[in-house]
Amino acid sequence: MLELSRITAGYDRRAPVVREVSLTVGSGRSVGLLGPSGCGKSTLARVAALLHRPDSGTVVVDGAPVRGWRHRAPREQRTAFGVVFQQPRLAADPRMRLADLIAEPLRATGRRNEAAEAVAGLAERVGLSRELLGRRPHEVSDGQLQRACLARALVLRPRWLICDEMTAMLDASTAAALVAAVETYRAESGAGLLAVGHDSVLLNRWCDETVRWDELGAEDASGPLAKDVR
Minimum gap (Å) between residue 85 Cβ and ligand ATP? 10
37 binds ligand ATP (CB under 6 A): yes
43 binds ligand ATP (CB under 6 A): yes
Site membership for ligand ATP, residue 17 (CB under 6 A): yes
**Residues forming a β-bridge with 83:** 162
Beta bridge partners of 161: 82, 193
Total residues interacting with ligand ATP, rule: CB under 6 A = 11
Q: Which of 41, 78, 147, 159 binds ligand ATP (CB under 6 A)?
A: 41
Residue 19 contacts ligand ATP per CB under 6 A: no
Residue nearest to ligand ATP (CB): 42
* Among positions 14, 15, 38, 131, the unique one binding ligand ATP when judged by CB under 6 A: 38
Sketch the per residue contact string, 183 through 222, with ligand ATP: x for CB under 6 A, - otherwise: ---------------x------------------------
* 8 A C-beta contact, residue 161 and residue 153: yes
Q: Given the complex with ligand ATP, which of 45 and 151 has the nearer CB atom? A: 45
Q: Give the separation between CA 135 and CA 148, rounded to whole angstroms.
A: 11
Determine the interface stretch with ligand ATP among 31-39, 53-61, 118-126, 204-212 (rule: CB under 6 A). Answer: 31-39
Q: Are 215 and 39 in contact (CB under 8 A)?
A: no
Shortest Cβ 22–ligand ATP spacing (Å): 17
**Shortest distance (Å) from residue 113 CB to ligand ATP:** 36
Q: How far is the CB of 145 from ligand ATP (least distance, A)?
A: 18
Where does this chain bind ligand ATP (CB under 6 A)? 11, 17, 35, 37-43, 198
